[in-house]
Amino acid sequence: MSLLEMRAVEKAFGDRAVLRGCKLLMKTGERIGLVGPNGCGKSTLLSIMAGLQKPDHGSVIRNGSVGILTQNPRLKGETVGQVVDAALAWHGRLLAAYHQALARGDMSRAAKLHDRLDVAGWDLSHHADAMLHRLGAPSRATPIAQLSGGELRRVALARTLLGSPELLLLDEPTNHLDVDTGEWLQAYLRGYRGGVVLVTHDRYLIEAVVDRIVEIDDGVCISYDGSYGDYLLARAERRAAQERAEDHRLALIAREAAWAARSPAARTTRAKSRLRRLDQLRSRRTLASPGKIDIQLHSGQRLGQNLVEASGLGKSYGNRTLFRQVDFTLKRGERLGLIGPNGAGKSTLLEIIAGLRSPDMGKIYRAPRVKLSLFDQQRSGLDPADTVFHAAGNGNSHVSLGDRSVHVSSFLKNFLFSHEMLDQRVAQLSGGERARLLLARLLLEGSHVLLLDEPTNDLDLQTLRVLEEALMGFDGATIVATHDRAFLDRVCTGILAFHADARLVAYASRQQYHGSARASRDPAGLQRPRAASRSKASGPTSARLRPRKPRRSYHQEREYQAIPQHIEDLENQQAAVEARLAEPSTYRDPHADPAALTRRLAQLTQQIEALYQRWTELEELES
């Protein structure tokens, strides 16, 4: 049975056609990943699926309840509790219908409703509170008017999930979720009984959850069975076939046009037929050329090795301490990832490093002449009333790229802003388009240190990959706060993790952080990781009171010494596989197997994580 059917759906905004005859058939229980560049119409298509927008042409048939999380949700209710309680109204109606069927003696209907209640649960009184807690949302009593943008989205996500619709439509659900909550959501969606349509930049999430990819390509829905890795391969093959067909069409047009130009006025039936064929070839829609974003980050003037040093940093708000005794050094070429739960202080720390806030204690040293740029969550720095042209060039017609002067329109073309978009107001841009415009501004600033707060939010997968490549080739230093696990694993050379006791702990990688976190929760009581600034116990008394740890055996010692080299070897293999997957030629090579490469990458990631966990276990033993 089909859950959703879309027939020849078209949608335009002014002169810009976003959808041009989209067709989509979705079966019960399917999980679809909706992909495409920013501005291609993904959010519009979700909105049409949910019935929030009407198509200009075409029809949509829904055979079940629909719930949607939009990028800018609106919540009805004065408090968080009222919003989530309203989301569970379906359960009250289900219970009432069951009791009514019993009262009427309609045992067949009562049996069906009984089965549905067995699946959904008979008592959901604590379900809403548990969902709010798991998503890191504010308490029930919090007024909606006081919620931040991130809190609003987390409450909206809780509302959507609590509604238990037969079709779940999620537009960037991991935005404003920390890494642990994102992993919980991934497990939840994998076990979800209904259908799911997912728009996300989180490659781990889309790879783990969906079984079909639907791409919006030039306003048309193209379906690919399999995982995201399978899609990349099939898309490359399809694109190559399209380009061959387009080359053939253009060659045929050139040949037929040359014949028509040198031929006398033809009146034969065959000649007229040939001219009609030429007109048909010319009228056929030209193959849309996929835009390619170009981000090349350079710091300009070379400085020393140490760019930023933090010593004893601490920050509190009232009785709540965000972090204390934070020490770290940021060197040229380093890319540090900040991870921790929402509200831990990641954005605050970035603002302190940028000089926008002052710490309560400690000092920040910035190298002489060092230039820092902050890419914040609010995407501030853009005037909504400005045009794209004015915002990029700050009112000038040309911008400076190194020692070159480039016209603003040519510069913006590298960030996929067409000539028609130059006069568009910033307020009319999508979230991804605003992010691309800010990245363009970031390129012009020529900073030595980039401070990026959730830079992956709203970016499409193509732009995300280009940004990763640009950061990995950046000759300055970067600190990035992000929930994107793939971004952290691929880009960052180190991790600074916020812990519940207001410590900031350094790790070599996200895998090491998770291994250490699991070890610290182990019932055997493995020791928690040490913060760099934590003072060591000293003196004979502390030595006598400290429990004696078991010693490593000869074989365990050899294993412990060999693990770092083993990890390095696997991480080199991981980087090589990632590099092959990032190469377009991989998907054109008939001998390559991108699906196998994707599986190998997942296998290497698991092996590295297991080694870090084992290393942590052995480190707890005395040599």
Domain boundary among 502, 519, 536: 519
Is the confidence at residue 573, as pLDDT, over 70? yes
| Domain-embedded: residue 435 | yes
Of 288, 322, 353, the one marking the end of a domain is 288
Of 504, 519, 534, the one marking the end of a domain is 519
Residue 148 backbone phi and psi in degrees, to 5 = -75, 175
For residue 414, what pLDDT is reported?
77
- Provide the β-strand partners of residue 187: none
Is the model's pLDDT at 168 over the cut of 60?
yes
Lowest mean pLDDT among 137-151, 278-292, 304-318: 278-292
Span 216-226, mean pLDDT? Answer: 88
- Give pLDDT tens digits for 56-75: 999 999 998 899 999 888 88
Of 211, 197, 202, 196, nearest to 177 (Cα)?
202
CATH number at residue 562: 1.10.287.380
**For the ranges 111-125, 360-374, 504-518, the one whose mean pLDDT is highest:** 360-374
Q: Pick the most confident of 214-228, 550-564, 606-620.
A: 214-228
**pLDDT 10s digits, 23-51:** 999 998 899 999 988 778 899 999 999 99
Read off the CATH number of the domain in which 464 is found: 3.40.50.300
**Is 340 in contact with 360 (CB distance < 8 Å)?**
no
**Residue, of 279 and 78, whose pLDDT is higher:** 78
Same domain assignment for residues 327 and 276: no
Q: Which of 31-35, 366-370, 388-392 has the highest mean pLDDT?
A: 31-35
Are 284 and 310 contained in the same domain? Answer: no
- pLDDT tens column, 438-494: 888 877 877 889 999 988 887 888 888 888 888 888 888 999 998 888 889 989 999
Nearest Cα to Cα of residue 581 among 304, 231, 329:
231
Total domains, the chain: 3
Phi then psi dihedrals of residue 187, to 5 deg = -65, -40
State which of 112-116, 121-125, 268-272 shows the largest mean pLDDT: 112-116
Distance from CA of residue 456 to its chain's centroid? 5
Query: Using CA atoms, how far apart are residues 453 and 379, in angstroms rounded to an integer?
Result: 9
pLDDT-derived band at 525 (thresholds 50, 70, 90) equals very low
Q: Name 622's bridge partners.
A: 551
Judge whether 119 lies within some domain. Answer: no
Residues 259 and 363 in one domain: no
Residues 444 and 589 placed together within one structural domain of the fold:
no
Q: Are residues 445 and 396 in the same domain?
A: yes
Q: Which two structure tokens, joined as six digits, stand for 577?
A: 């596989």
129, 33 Cβ separation under 8 angstroms: no
Q: Which residue has the higher pLDDT, 615 or 372?
A: 372
Q: Are residues 337 and 439 in the same domain?
A: yes
Residue 489 lies in a domain: yes
Rounded mean pLDDT of 492-512? 87
Let me know if residue 342 belongs to a domain.
yes
Percent of the chain with pLDDT over 70: 83
The residue segments making up the domain with residue 583 are: 549-619
What is the mean pLDDT of the segment spanning 293-321? Answer: 81
pLDDT band at 283 (very low <50, low <70, confident <90, very high): low
Q: How confident is the model at residue 608 (pLDDT cuts 50, 70, 90)?
A: confident
Domain match, 283 and 313 both? no
On whether residue 576 sits in a domain, the answer given is yes
Say yes or no to pLDDT of 524 above 50.
no
Model confidence pLDDT, tens digit, residues 543-553: 333 444 567 77
Q: How confident is the model at residue 528 (pLDDT cuts 50, 70, 90)?
A: very low
Q: By C-alpha distance, which of 245, 247, 274 is closest to 261?
A: 274
Q: How confident is the model at residue 531 (pLDDT cuts 50, 70, 90)?
A: very low
